[in-house]
Amino acid sequence: MSKLESTFFCIHGNHENRPQNIASYKEKEWNGGRVMYEEDFPNLLFPIDGEIFDIEGKKCIVIGGAYSVDKFYRLRNGYRWWPDEQPSPKIKEYVEKQLSENKVDVVFSHTCPAKYIPTECFLSGIDQSRVDNSTEEWLDTIEDKIEYEAWYLGHWHTDKQIDKMHFLFHGVEVL
């Protein structure tokens, strides 16, 4: 990816460490918001949650993170898992402050508000009563408070659209 002449805007998900926790990442401003990047890979940008960016004339907020439904499997088998995969209270507060002070056209998040959870994408064998949906429930409150043109996300490994909610997995859309 670093050899391509494109800029990759990578929203934090689950199953990955936050760039803020990795010493090789630096912070800079890009299109009006703060991003993390590594000097060796300057075209791979990881926006900081709650930052608002001007992209193609649209005001876009980023809200990363989600719960790993395979958390206990990962821990039991020695695979990596990060306790800060979901937005912290501090991140949530910052996102809410940003949205109270700014109008946005587009939301980029990893997961979706709870009312849009695609239950057909649930993994068999996962006890849904043990899944922490607190991020999705919080995103419900966010969606209820704002007006936006489009919301893009990828956590659910599906390509579909519900109203203004764009689930992207293999799909690509032009902003």
- The per-residue pLDDT for range 31-79, each reduced to its tens digit, is 999 999 999 999 999 999 999 999 999 999 999 999 999 999 999 999 9
In a domain, 157, yes or no: yes
In a domain, 111, yes or no: yes
Q: How many domains does the chain have?
A: 1
End-to-end CA distance of the chain: 20
In-domain check, residue 22 = no
- Cα separation, 102 vs 122, whole angstroms: 34
Is the residue at 162 inside a domain? Answer: yes
| pLDDT value, residue 174 | 82
pLDDT for the residue 125: 84
> What global pTM score does this model have?
0.94
Which residue range is the domain that position 156 belongs to?
49-167
Cα 70 to Cα 162: distance, rounded to the nearest angstrom: 26
Is 92 part of any domain? yes
Residue 122 lies in a domain: yes
In a domain, 26, yes or no: no
- Whether the CB-CB separation of 165 and 112 falls below 8 Å is answered with yes
Which residues of the chain carry a pLDDT beneath 50?
none
Give a yes or no: residue 2 inside a domain: no
What integer pLDDT is reported at residue 77 of this predicted model? 96
